[in-house]
Amino acid sequence: MMIRHARTIESIHAARPASDGAGVKLWRNIAPELQQRLDPFLLLDAFGSDDPDSYIAGFPDHPHRGFETVTYMLEGKMRHKDSAGNEGLLESGSIQWMRAGRGVIHSEMPEQEHGLMQGFQLWINLHSSEKLSDPAYEEIAPDGIPSHTDSSGAHMKIIAGEVDGVRGPIGERRTKPLYLDLRLEPHAEFSQAIPVEHNALAYVFEGSLIDGSRGEIGAHQLIVFGTREGHDGVAVSSGGTGARLLLLAGQPLNEPIAQWGPFVMNTRQEIEQAIAAYRDGSLTR
């Protein structure tokens, strides 16, 4: 997609090795100090291992309130169950988009004992008027996610947003998210128009990108694109081995962010209310 002026790279951040759930090993992006800058995106975790000890314990029952989770499975099988009565099996290439709203308790447990498990979980904030809304759940099979190859030869899965008239399966959201899984051939270029008021980032998870001023940007690197009036999109170029990356953009909510673990609200008082609701069992009622 042609753009007039590409955004420059504002900063690059190395993903941090971490673990979550019952010890699942992962790469964690979007540290708390970046949340306001990358509004509405709160967290991006990348997991990928062919060692069962790194994932077999999964993510047992845990609560959420105040945001949406997007789980994208590249490889493997994981069973979702939640307190709203939803259950589904995420398989290779599928997506789960869950709105926690006022509160949900869910689990995500592997249904494999060997082989590769790889994917991502993204947290997207909700507007203050939606934080106590009813929970909702969407599960999208691989054949429901459109594939597209643009005029530059870039191959992509369109999870949310629109490219060249091809729309992803996720419906309209206040945050107007763009979520692309991009595969670039060696020494390829890709550009995408993005509204100037939206925040944009990319996460490289295979190969590398090449930037004229910053050089090579390899795997497990998070790129934050700057925002300047008149800069109407992003442009990236792959290195000699090609690249695979997530490109994300969204309209910021411009509201205060208060987080305590799995709860994301606007004030400390609301966080304390969420903790109390979880402890007394009213979170999901």
**% of the chain beyond a pLDDT of 70:** 100
> What's the average model confidence in pLDDT over 54-68?
96
pLDDT surpassing 70 at residue 1: no
Calculate the alpha carbon distances from 120 to 134, 137, 179, 217 in Å.
24, 17, 12, 20
pLDDT tens digits along 133-142:
999 999 999 9
> What's the average model confidence in pLDDT over 18-42?
94
Tokens of 90: 């995420």
Residue 107 confidence (pLDDT): 96
Residue 18 confidence (pLDDT): 93
> What's the average model confidence in pLDDT over 213-231?
93
Q: Is the distance from CB of 106 to CB of 124 less than 8 angstroms? A: no
The pLDDT confidence band at residue 63, using thresholds 50, 70 and 90, is very high
Q: Is the distance from CB of 50 to CB of 115 less than 8 angstroms? A: yes
Note if the bond before 40 is cis, omega within 30 degrees.
Answer: yes
Residue 230 confidence (pLDDT): 84
Cβ atoms within 10 Å of 231's Cβ, excluding its own: 17
Burial of 155 (0-12, 13-18, 19+ CB in 10 A): middle
- pTM value is 0.96
pLDDT tens digits along 181-218:
999 999 999 999 999 999 999 999 999 999 988 999 99
CA 198, CA 208: separation in Å to the nearest integer?
24
Domains defined for the chain, CATH in brackets: 9-280 (2.60.120.10)
Mean pLDDT across the chain: 96
